[in-house]
A = this chain, B = another copy of it.
Amino acid sequence: GSSSVESLDYEVIENYAYREEQAQRGKLYVGYSVVVKWFFALLIGIGTGLAAVFINISVENFAGWKFSLTFSIIQKSYFAGFLVYILINLILVFSSVYIITKFAPAAAGSGIPEIKGYLNGVDIHGILLFRTLIGKIFGSIGSVGGGLALGKEGPLVHTGACIASLLGQGGSTKYHLRYRWLQVFRSDRDRRDLVTCGCAAGVAAAFRAPVGGVLFALEEVTSWWRSQLMWRVFFTSAIVAVVVRSAMGWCKSGKCGHFGSGGFIIWDISDGQEDYSFEELLPMAVIGVIGGLLGALFNQLTLYMTSWRRNYLHKKGNRVKIIEACVISVITSVISFGLPLLRKCSPCPESDLDSGIECPRPPGMYGNYVNFYCSKDKEYNDLATIFFNTQDDAIRNLFSAKTIHEYSAQSLLTFLVMFYTLAVVTFGIAVPAGQFVPGIMIGSTYGRLVGMFVVNFYKKLNIEEGTYALLGAASFLGGSMRMTVSLCVIMVEITNNLKFLPLIMLVLLISKAVGDAFSEGLYEEQAHLRGVPLLESRPKYKMRQMTAKEACGAQKVVSLPRIIKVADVVSILRTNKHNGFPVIDHSRNGERLVIGLVLRSHLLVLLQSKVDFQHSPLPCDTRGGSKPISHSFSEFVKPASSKGLSIDDIHLSSDDMEMYIDLGPFLNPSPYVVPEDMSLSKVYNLFRQLGLRHIFVVPRASRVIGLITRKDLLIED
């Protein structure tokens, strides 16, 4: 629930310790920190690239080995092959779900909603831990290798984000891997930038689509954006491309088993359809509409599934989660093995020596026309070609050109229904799971179905069914995830076919518009369900009629005086759960003044260290320098990967309780304020655009000291 959720603070807390540190450091340090930031972008790129290569090598080898073993056994006995196939899948899925439930519960699912939440300013405990990273990597090897209807792309985004966050805090606290010199990233804001780089790196690595990665991070995950950041994210993506490409080059000679064959582009269809005519726009629009409908339906169904799981099934403990995953694994194996068995084989097309098409082929290998349970020699099983195969190959086959009439409508329809159901059911089990690849599979199946009708209907033109499969994939992703520009670029980068860009745009526009009419995007819905309170970029309509004062309610403000007794601090922190408290002081002429905001976490640090306790209730004059500062700014930095202190962890003697603290040096002296009757939509913009955590609602000012306009801000260094 949202009770465990805290906000991040993207504002710099300019307290005394911070200003001291700033003053000490000077301008050179700014240069140093820029260098470190770039260095970290490099490291994130390398790390994510290597993680992606590792996952890919493992998955492709497990899957390849699984299919070749099964295929060699079914030469003798289909039943024995069936059992072996089920067993291997089961073992892989079991290992995945075991890792997740026992070791890294936060690594379940795709992780994108949580990362989106993090970048929106919501701190969800556990999503960026080292164990989550490990769980994500090994878990997704098991779940994807085990043939479930899910992908490894979402998890790679999460992996990238974890790597970025861990680097950002200088290693893992728990495993004693922290290095002092790496700790330049003190604020939530810097970490956010790193995590953005990590997300981009994840997509870049997953799809080998560097520009798509940048745009995904920009459009789908981040809530704030600066053009310098774009430039760094771009660099990270480029590094990922270099790393993955080098690894593929190294693996080309067969050093890495099944990995490394094929080009850099995952599903290259650059030799596909040459051109398209205006008549084709209608069926393409139809694909867009189908995509919007099926995508919105997918979101809705997975929403029900997930909330049902959360409320009933997963409450019963880890054992149920493990059993559930195993059951789904067995069902998936049975369907993907069994259904092709029921299918009659089709004769191979007349072999055209030029086209280099080989028919039939064994399953689990690069190429169309898979031979499975066919009685005659020159026959192939069209359902096995897509169902009893690795996902990558299935998609490649669905996208493939020059293979008109390869699939029967019946097979495609069977596959569509079964796989859609499997994808919905699988969504939300306790393993790392991405929705990109299943989405592409679903979309390209109905796309190809439409393509078949078009080929039959228009006859003349050189229409390729593969083109329609591609558009179908785009439409389903658009209808479900509601991305636009980034999806466009990703689709182009993974298929290497720029000619279809305008068509992809058209299809996406339609499917997104249709989808938006029914529901929110997949990630937003999942975030809502998980209690991640995302703030949209636009205020709600209702807010126009509300004022700031109305929004903050009638609750009395819990504020602290500047010099406060330790006992009072403890009791205030115990009796409420607020994370920020206004600090009120009296000026010399007795006037009350709001002098700043102090955070609960800072108060806890003060209570724990005790060095700032004083006997007298008089202010210590920090400005005069009479007292050396006893805290460095870094002590106040919230650790990214632990829950931080709680008031119950702190033990104070009764002597301590009688002492005082001067909060003056530790408060944020200038939080943003709004007058009480500002409309809430303006307050919302302020809060959302600047990434704030607390805003003070104050009475109208009595006078204006000055005005700041553009001219006043044109200061040169």
A residues contacting B by CB (< 8 A) are: 7, 11-12, 14, 22-23, 27, 30, 121-122, 210-211, 214-215, 218-219, 225-228, 230-231, 234-235, 237-238, 241-242, 245, 264-265, 270, 484-485, 488-489, 492-493, 496, 498-499, 501-502, 505-506, 509, 512, 533, 535, 537-538, 540-546, 548-549, 551-553, 555, 557, 559, 578-580, 582, 584, 591-595, 669-670, 672-690, 693-717
Query: What are 27 sample pairs from A and B whose C-beta atoms fall under 8 A apart?
Result: A7-B709, A11-B682, A122-B710, A210-B505, A211-B505, A226-B537, A228-B538, A241-B505, A264-B499, A265-B498, A270-B270, A493-B498, A551-B706, A593-B701, A594-B701, A594-B703, A672-B682, A680-B713, A683-B713, A687-B708, A689-B689, A694-B707, A694-B709, A696-B701, A696-B707, A697-B706, A698-B703
* Chain B residue nearest in CB terms to A583: B704
Cβ contacts under 8 Å, A502 to chain B: 210, 238, 241-242, 245
| Cα separation A675 to B593 with both chains bound (whole Å) | 11
When the two chains form the complex, which single residue of B238, B270, B499, B546 contacts A509, counting CB atoms closer than 8 Å?
A: B238
Given contacts A492-B498, A710-B693, whether A230 and B484 have CB atoms under 8 Å apart is: yes
B540, A716: Cβ atoms closer than 8 Å = yes
Q: How far is the CB of A667 from chain B (nearest CB, A)?
A: 13
A591, B498: Cβ atoms closer than 8 Å = no
| Cα separation A679 to B689 with both chains bound (whole Å) | 18
Given contacts A509-B238, A670-B675, A709-B693, whether A219 and B227 have CB atoms under 8 Å apart is: yes
Task: Report the copy number of this chain in the oligomer.
Answer: 2
| Cα separation A231 to B219 with both chains bound (whole Å) | 9
B697, A690: Cβ atoms closer than 8 Å = no
B698, A690: Cβ atoms closer than 8 Å = no
Cβ contacts under 8 Å, A582 to chain B: 704, 707
Cβ contacts under 8 Å, A677 to chain B: 669-670
Given contacts A14-B679, A594-B700, A685-B690, whether A210 and B501 have CB atoms under 8 Å apart is: yes
Cβ contacts under 8 Å, A499 to chain B: 264, 496
B485, A14: Cβ atoms closer than 8 Å = no
Cβ contacts under 8 Å, A230 to chain B: 219, 484-485
Cβ contacts under 8 Å, A27 to chain B: 541
When the two chains form the complex, which single residue of B540, B669, B676 contacts A715, counting CB atoms closer than 8 Å?
A: B540
B702, A591: Cβ atoms closer than 8 Å = yes
* Chain B residue nearest in CB terms to A121: B710
B584, A703: Cβ atoms closer than 8 Å = yes
Given contacts A238-B509, A489-B211, A713-B687, whether A696 and B702 have CB atoms under 8 Å apart is: no
13 new A-B contacts at CB < 8 Å, known A214-B485, A689-B690: A234-B488, A238-B509, A492-B498, A533-B710, A535-B713, A541-B717, A551-B708, A557-B706, A594-B704, A670-B682, A673-B701, A684-B713, A699-B705
B231, A484: Cβ atoms closer than 8 Å = yes
* Chain B residue nearest in CB terms to A38: B513
Q: How far is the CB of A436 from chain B (nearest CB, A)?
A: 19
| Cα separation A390 to B491 with both chains bound (whole Å) | 34
* Chain B residue nearest in CB terms to A554: B706
A710, B501: Cβ atoms closer than 8 Å = no
| Cα separation A227 to B120 with both chains bound (whole Å) | 13
Q: How far is the CB of A44 from chain B (nearest CB, A)?
A: 15
